Amino acid sequence: MSQYQDNSSTSDVSTSKSISKIILLDQEAQESPKSDGSFWETSEKNEKQSRINSIESNISSRYSLDSARSMPFWKLVFQWQVLSASITTLAMGMLVGSLENVLPIYAKDRFKISASKTGLLFVVNGGIAIALSTPTGWIVDRQIQKHGESMRAYIELAGLGLIGGAVVLLGFSTSFAMITGAEIWFAASLLMVNVPVMSSFGDFVNALGVNSMAQSYGLYNSFWSLSSTIAPPIATALYTQIGYRATVVGILTGLCVACAALILAHPLWQLLRSFNKRS
């Protein structure tokens, strides 16, 4: 992979260090009385140097991104880890957008549930996301630190399995209470996919040492927004043409299977390559 260096970063840091040292020395010279070369003078100089070193360290950390490699946006998008995470984000966003659009319509048509009552489904989703997002992130970080990056895929696959089960239950629900229970199951399982997928953008950029963090999260947001835009009209059309159960159990469960295949594709390809090299 090519390295793109920011040639101005080194001189910027050096200049900032020099300026900070000059300012601090001038300030100390104005505030401190003249010394006579005693022990107190040496102590004062050491303290002054310590403060200068602290400022320089802060400046170096602030400007460290300037010396990181940059990567063209198109090249970032076509990195496999970013591309697969983007497609998974699109699929999960379409899954959420479809259910949020179809479930209230189905509940009203089948169970004669009022709009105010179906609104509880959105409250359930939001409440679970608020309560469990941070604990889920903490668990994901701990597991990846302990077992390595491969654990991310296992967590995502487990989440997709649970989501698939929740979607099937939603498709075969015979009461609004069953729909509510399945929605709770779905919302909690969704975090097991969305949290590691979203964090993978930043973790991948950090691992490469490239200065593309904002672009990677912008890419995530773009794919999620795209799914939220196109999912409602598609889900409504499918609901009208093929019905609720075929839409939810057939199409939306198929999204989970497709995402699982996508997540498995890269490790299986690496395993096949290593096997071919050995043989």
Cα three-residue angle 271-273-276, rounded to 5 degrees: 110
Average per-residue pLDDT in the chain? 81
Q: What are the residues whose beta carbons fall under 8 Å from the beta carbon of 193, sequence distance 6 or more?
A: 88, 92, 156, 159, 160, 163, 259
Query: What is the predicted pLDDT for the residue at 247?
Result: 94
Decide if 6 contacts 70 (C-beta within 8 A): yes
Query: Bigger pLDDT: 187 or 50?
Result: 187
Decide if 234 contacts 98 (C-beta within 8 A): yes
Query: What is the predicted pLDDT for the residue at 24?
Result: 57
Q: Which residue has the tokens 């691992």?
A: 207
Using one digit for the tens of pLDDT, what is the confidence trace for 83-111? 899 999 999 999 999 999 999 999 999 99
Task: Judge residue 279's burial from the number of C-beta atoms within 10 Å of its C-beta, 0-12 exposed, 13-18 middle, 19 or more buried.
Answer: exposed
Decide if 186 contacts 121 (C-beta within 8 A): no
Kindly report whether the global pTM for this prediction surpasses the value 0.85: no
CA–CA separation, 134 and 199 (whole Å): 12
Using one digit for the tens of pLDDT, what is the confidence trace for 144-155? 999 988 899 999
Decide if 227 contacts 56 (C-beta within 8 A): no
CA–CA separation, 274 and 276 (whole Å): 5
- Look at residue 63 and give its three-state secondary structure: coil
Q: Average pLDDT in the 186-197 region?
A: 96
